[in-house]
Amino acid sequence: MSKLKLDISISLDGYVAGPDPSYDQPLGVGGEKLHEWGVRAASWKEAHGYDPAEGETGTDNDVIAEQASSYGAVIMGKRMFCGEDGPWGDEPFEGWWGDDPPFKVPVFVLTHHPRDVLELGETRFEFVTDGIETALERARDASGSDDVQVSGGANVAQQYLAAGLLDEMQIHIAPVLLGGGTRLFAEGERQPNLRVARTIESPAVTHIRYEIER
């Protein structure tokens, strides 16, 4: 069976977003520092509609290129999709990524509020209202033999981890202390065993892939 993988950037003090997130600063104060290593990479720029010639090549770029071609479906939470909980409203937000989002595979958005399928460029967003297991089942159907990626946010990652459904985590540890915000890992009694599968060093960030004992 294909794997369910989390891929996410965190600060050294464990946050996926800084304090006080807002529409203008969806990653909270300082949160963009977690992704500086990524957004300057050529692969990121190409996937997001910018000129890859203006991006950097090298180790971090290779990690992004590898990761972007490694999944056949994506799962994310509503807050990652649009920055807030709650009903969709009359002219619902279509995500942060413009007319041609970088995913190019089916994306399953976990939400409590039903919404019709949204097709943007090569990406199809489906909104799943009946929980993480259903989202995973639909993502596996869509991805075939390819892996399914959980992209965040923290709450969705925590739900899959706590349910024992994650096979792998690739954590990008940025050399940043945020001092507050949203933590990736929740407190709790049941913690799975991990194994370091791969470490890739770069001056900008440390990429560690953990396998999770099932």
The residues binding a second copy (CB under 8 A) are 12-14, 30, 171, 173, 175-180, 183-192, 194-196, 199, 201-206, 208, 210
Give min distance, CB of 156 to a second copy, in A.
Answer: 17
Q: Which of 105/154 has CB closer to a second copy?
A: 154
Q: Which of 51/189 has CB closer to a second copy?
A: 189
- What are the φ and ψ backbone dihedral angles of 123, each rounded to 5 degrees? -110, 135
Amino acid at 134: T
- What are the φ and ψ backbone dihedral angles of 10, each rounded to 5 degrees? -135, 160
Rounded CA gap, 132 and 111, in Å?
A: 10
3-state helix, strand, coil in the chain (%, to 5): 25, 30, 45
Cα-to-chain-centroid distance, residue 208: 15
Q: Which of 46/168 has CB closer to a second copy?
A: 168
Give min distance, CB of 51 to a second copy, in A.
Answer: 28
Give min distance, CB of 70 to a second copy, in A.
Answer: 20
Q: Which of 107/178 has CB closer to a second copy?
A: 178
